[in-house]
Amino acid sequence: MDYVHLGRSGLQVSRLCLGTMNFGPHTTEADSFAIMDRALDLGINFFDTANVYGGSFGEGVTEQIIGRWWTQGGGRRERVVLATKVYGRMGNWPNQSRLSALHIKRACEDSLRRLRTDYIDLYQMHHVDRETPWEEMWQAMEQLYREGKILYVGSSNFAGWHLVQAQETARSRHFFGLVSEQSLYNLCERTVELEVIPACQAYGIGLLPWSPLDRGLLAGMPRSGVQGRRADRELRDKADRLRPRLEGYENLCRSLGEEPAIVAIAWLLHQPGVTAPIIGPRTMEQLNMLVRTLDLTLSEDILTRLEEIFPGPGGPAPEAYAW
């Protein structure tokens, strides 16, 4: 396993991040435990979760599963860089969502309790909150940092200008600011190349792509059809719209003798600014397959062919759309 620094920080994380969204709703607790143990065996030391994961409103089911896994001992907690998130609604009363100082404080303490740990390595703002000033958000994060409850702060689903706002406000407060940004990024969805990735690179923020397989479309879905939990109308329509590209992509993968999912994640690992794609296996078999990504090097010819099948926005802004 290769390890890289998370953004400009001194923290080292594995090149793949284990996403845990399936733990609870689609993967049993016993299987979740086995997947996390296997991830450690493979050298994956970076686990991502969120307080809203788990399928039961306000209960933090996935965090609870991870917390019970820690209790088995064996240095599990000490070996993992733990990332969780705050923003989503955890109750029906006011101040039980978003990024007010009150909700950040309460949500962090609730996550610590569910996770059965006394600190969170990476505490991520799950979405931008346009209704709360940056001074308030940073004040809350700084307090948690001083108390030793969080070590680093990250963001998720931020636009490029949100990253600039966050970093410049943190700089004015003499605070380290963001070390990571989780963004939707895959061969089908490349909007972040316009401004998010350039902002990340300029500010030393590591990029953590979520949905690297675009909800399964890049894992061979056209041959079997979109089924199960992925069978929503929006995704079916997208599969139909992109079918020629997806079929061309699968043909290219077959010529390489590789699974489409592996090629899709390998492509992300070849992109500038990417720290660790977030993989979310539902089964042990999926985890064992996806980790093979680290052994695949894509040639310049293959990267060019992938660019032809899934063209990006044309580079960073404003060059992508201006003279």
The least confident of 43-47, 55-59, 176-180, 190-194 is 55-59
Integer-rounded Cα Rg, in Å, for the chain is: 19
List, in sequence order, every residue forming a beta bridge with 82; answer none if it has no partner: 47
Owner of token pair 């209790």: 71
DSSP string of 218-239, one letter each residue: GGTHHHH-S-GGG--HHHHHHH
pLDDT at 233 exceeding the cut of 90: no
Rounded distance, CA 168 to CA 174, Å?
A: 10
Confidence bin at 234 (pLDDT 50/70/90) = confident
Q: What is the dihedral of CA 184, 189, 190, 195, to 10 degrees?
A: -50
DSSP character at residue 126? S
pLDDT at 106 exceeding the cut of 50: yes
The pLDDT mean for the chain works out to 95
Better-predicted residue by pLDDT, 233 or 92: 92
149-203 pLDDT, tens per residue? Answer: 999 999 999 999 999 999 999 999 999 999 999 999 999 999 999 999 999 999 9
Mean pLDDT of 205-218: 97
Q: What pTM did the predictor assign? A: 0.95
Q: Domain spanning 3-309 has what CATH number?
A: 3.20.20.100
pLDDT at 231 exceeding the cut of 60: no
The least confident of 13-17, 188-192, 211-215, 231-235 is 231-235
- CB of 179 closer than 8 Å to CB of 6: yes
- CB of 55 closer than 8 Å to CB of 61: yes
238-293 pLDDT, tens per residue? Answer: 999 999 999 999 999 999 999 999 999 999 999 999 999 999 999 999 999 999 99
Rounded distance, CA 60 to CA 90, Å?
A: 8
- CB of 55 closer than 8 Å to CB of 77: no
Rounded distance, CA 115 to CA 82, Å?
A: 10
Owner of token pair 């989780």: 182
Rounded distance, CA 232 to CA 155, Å?
A: 28
Helices (H), 80-133: 101-115
Better-predicted residue by pLDDT, 189 or 226: 189
Domain ranges of the chain: 3-309
Of 164, 183, 181, the closest CA to residue 7 belongs to 181
Identify residue 306 by its one-letter amino acid code.
L
From first CA to last CA, the distance across the chain in angstroms is: 42
- Count CB-CB contacts under 10 A for residue 314: 12
Active site residues: 53
Q: What is the dihedral of CA 244, 281, 121, 41, to 10 degrees?
A: -130
User: What pLDDT is recorded for position 110?
Assistant: 98
What is the sign of the dihedral through the CA atoms of 247, 252, 256 and 259?
A: negative
